């Protein structure tokens, strides 16, 4: 990926503070000040009980950063999308490794999204990319671009779910999904205001007959 020592140095300089800005949309401490909600006793209890499934990160110098403004501009143009894609794959792997302990209904109740939402967002990005290509090319496509558009239009929820789950969704569901308890259903219904919304039409294949 890094084709020169300068680009390698840029990636080495990328650290937690820059990554946090990408995730939070601003400096982490500014976000923390803007949303200073104190954790409830119930939240702390659930946090402590779920320690066995928490992601573990090494506290070392590699997480620190030293990126200048100029370096940030180069990073944005060359490496940001690659790192975002890698982080997405890590998230999918994290969830896959916790298939038996982290249920989709619990993710929806706490974060407003689940594995299915990730799959649907993949399809949405395919539709966006196809729209962008059509807008740029103005219906004057090369053979390679036509093949790419065909693949993007054909890409649907089933294919996306297999990327997220690492297998067919029905197979994952049969192996790992448990019947929801009354408590889980109550938390799910109580969190409806934060649930992700998806346009069903965008999730359908754009290929006739599918």
Question: What span, in angstroms and rounded, lies between the C-alpha atoms of 80 and 74?
Answer: 9
pLDDT in tens, 33-55: 999 888 899 889 989 999 999 99
pLDDT in tens, 5-29: 877 877 777 788 888 888 999 988 8
Distance of CA 149 to the CA centre of its chain: 23
| pLDDT tens column, 54-64 | 998 876 555 66
Q: What is the mean pLDDT of the segment spanning 73-100?
A: 89
In terms of Cβ atoms closer than 10 Å to its own Cβ (0-12, 13-18, 19+), residue 39 is exposed
Mean pLDDT of the chain: 88
Query: Is pLDDT of 166 > 70?
Result: yes
C-alpha span between 165 and 92 (Å, rounded): 7
């Amino acid at each position: 990926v890094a084709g020169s020592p300068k680009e390698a140095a840029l990636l080495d300089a990328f650290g937690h503070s820059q990554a946090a800005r990408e995730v939070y949309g601003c400096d982490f401490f500014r976000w923390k000040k803007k949303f200073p909600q104190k954790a409830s006793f119930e939240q702390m209890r659930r946090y402590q009980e779920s320690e066995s499934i928490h992601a573990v990160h090494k506290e070392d110098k590699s997480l620190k950063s030293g990126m200048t403004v100029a370096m940030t501009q180069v990073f944005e143009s060359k490496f940001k999308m690659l790192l975002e894609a890698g982080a997405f794959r890590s998230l999918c792997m994290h969830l896959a490794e916790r298939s038996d302990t982290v249920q989709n209904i619990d993710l929806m109740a706490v974060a407003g999204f689940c594995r299915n939402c990730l799959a649907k967002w993949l399809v949405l990005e395919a539709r966006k990319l196809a729209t962008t290509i059509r807008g740029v090319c103005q219906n004057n496509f090369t053979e390679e671009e036509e093949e790419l558009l065909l693949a993007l239009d054909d890409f649907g929820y089933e294919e996306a779910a297999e990327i997220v789950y690492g297998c067919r969704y029905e197979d994952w569901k049969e192996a790992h999904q448990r019947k929801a308890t009354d408590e889980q259903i109550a938390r799910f219904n109580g969190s409806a205001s934060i649930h992700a919304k998806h346009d069903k039409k965008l999730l359908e294949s754009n290929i006739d007959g599918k």
